[in-house]
Structure 1
């Protein structure tokens, strides 16, 4: 990747947004059930071919949106699987340590019991009467009582350790059940993703080269129309916040990934999905965040659109199925969908659900 890409500046973003990037392939998304209309400023009738292609565009957006939802399900199940696997390993370690401790406690308790048995026999008052040195006997008796208390403590600890081992075993069994459930959920989500992508690719494969080029133009027009409407609202006049130090690092990381392919479930370094890009960017900036766009929306601090700053994450669609990083001047960097690459697009080119701040 060239150094120019790695040193993207705010001025360059503004220029690209104003001229070409808002119409870059991969920037077009529409809200499910609310397809973005194709602009027709001339007022002339839209050719029948364009109407057919616009229907294809809307269908493709729906398929890729559903694939994005399933990808989030897959990523969530994958994260849970990793956590549960780590917890099972930790529980196994605790069980091993507990068993070793139990063996040691049993040995110590046995030794204490044998010592007490050897020191038994005559009642204490008889041993006191026979003793040549009563004080020595009393001192010894105190030591015996301390030993008895110590033995009681050993038995209490032994019992507690046994209970701990039983609880570790129950916890491990629960984690195994959860692990199996998440493996099934992950497999089911994978089928959904592959099904939606296969349907989209099949639909696109039926188009002739000229139709595919025209379809791309319609996608670009829809994205430009949405971005233009967003900018016409005057929102940029209200957005004045500067990036934090961590935000700059996150933006730099995301910028360095431009041109890398979208692959569902991927989190680098050669390819990314949308939340894989944003989570890795903030990890590189020193602030780990949730893996999926839906969890990023749920767990990170919400900020108003007018208050967002470079590095903040914009969550899109009512179901929080897409996420991008705001980089300033009305632009975002995101991994759009299968068949596209990490790119710059207009922040308003998709329906915005809200904005979250990882380093709040």
Structure 2
């Protein structure tokens, strides 16, 4: 019996020895690691959904940035088109000048050939030896007049050559201008597309209900400076408000009628109609229908007429928003405007106070 107890004690001591303590420590560490892994996995699975208000605020910011980049893209494209027109005009002038240079060279060549065939200019010896001095003098006068014409042609040739050199220099500068404007346009286009793509990825994190345009966020309040509340925006494609709108007249009425017909058409970045529009594309098309040509971008449309204050607004005026003048709408009266708001929306009626007012212009 004692031997049995002794064997059992020895076994117990062996189990409680240093090796066992090490094994136990490893076992506990493994268990802790497993628990942490399970906890981490559970935490990942249980991660809270993104805050819809914050996501929509960020989406709004990205879309405003994309719209601003879009206007810069349009401005760069317009500079490129103007530079291309100037380049074409210079190339035409250069071609005409080159033709005149070639004509002058041909004339000088003919003079040189004639002189070679007829000998050099008159000399006193030729005059003395001539059988008919009067006839010789007549021919000498003709040769002198031809020499004067040759001299004038030479002066013209020199002038044309200088003009041709200047035109080539200006043409090279215009070509550089075209390339620079095209590079700038591509850069702004890539910026806009990148921001729109990021906004779309953020929106995919929300449910359709969370993405509903009627649910606005703090990010919608006043845009960049937080001064205006955009919470009262009508839903896309909503009809004009029931409250009476001051009657427009003349060209302003035509522009408003065009914009009303566009209500419900989708916003598409860079679009100028007829099936879709961006903000400045809509106002440009509306006033074009009234016979008034507006520039393409918000930055240039703001100077395409007489500036008016917020209190002076009349139907047909262009209303601009944000400090960078990156958005524009068409005022229809009674505090309302028609505009193309943003990607994913349609042309709609909205309060002018739904965005931070920056300026207004009455097209001429």
Alignment of 1:264-343 (within 5 A): 264-298=269-303, 300-343=305-348
Q: Which residue of 2 aligns with 1:89?
A: 88
What is the total number of aligned residue pairs between the two structures? Answer: 297
* Structure 2 Cα separation of the partners of residues 357 and 303 of structure 1: 7
**1:143 deviation in Å?**
5.1
Q: Which residue of 2 aligns with 1:193?
A: 192
Contact 2:303 2:361 in 1 (8 A): no
**1:86 deviation in Å?**
2.8
* Structure 2 Cα separation of the partners of residues 109 and 249 of structure 1: 63
Q: 1:243 to 1:209 in 2, by over 3 A?
A: closer
Structure with the larger RCO, 1 or 2 (CA within 8 Å, 6+ apart): 1
Alignment of 1:172-211 (within 5 A): 172-211=171-210
**1:104 deviation in Å?**
1.4
Alignment of 1:128-139 (within 5 A): none
TM-score by length of 2: 0.71
**1:67 deviation in Å?**
0.7
Q: Is there any run of 5+ residues in structure 1 with no aligned partner, and where?
A: 1-48, 228-235
RMSD: 3.3
Q: Which residue of 2 aligns with 1:349?
A: 354
Contact 1:76 1:291 in 2 (8 A): yes
* Structure 2 Cα separation of the partners of residues 250 and 145 of structure 1: 71
**Which segment drifts farther, 259-268 or 277-286?**
277-286
* Structure 1 Cα separation of the partners of residues 201 and 330 of structure 2: 31
* Structure 1 Cα separation of the partners of residues 104 and 253 of structure 2: 56
Contact 2:127 2:133 in 1 (8 A): no
* Structure 1 Cα separation of the partners of residues 260 and 137 of structure 2: 81
Rg larger in structure: 2
**1:225 deviation in Å?**
5.2
String of CA shifts for 1:259-292, please: whole Å, max 9, x gaps: 2111111112221111111122223333222211
1:217 aligns with 2:215: yes
Q: Is there any run of 5+ residues in structure 2 with no aligned partner, and where?
A: 1-47, 222-228, 235-242
Q: Which residue of 2 aligns with 1:171?
A: 170
**Which segment drifts farther, 292-301 or 72-81?**
292-301
TM-score by length of 1: 0.71
* Structure 1 Cα separation of the partners of residues 124 and 269 of structure 2: 79
SS in 2 for 1:83: helix
SS in 2 for 1:333: strand
Contact 1:226 1:350 in 2 (8 A): no
**1:133 deviation in Å?**
7.9
Contact 1:128 1:137 in 2 (8 A): no
**Which segment drifts farther, 79-88 or 330-339?**
79-88
SS in 1 for 2:182: helix
**1:217 deviation in Å?**
3.0
**1:322 deviation in Å?**
0.5
1:78 aligns with 2:77: yes
Contact 1:70 1:193 in 2 (8 A): yes
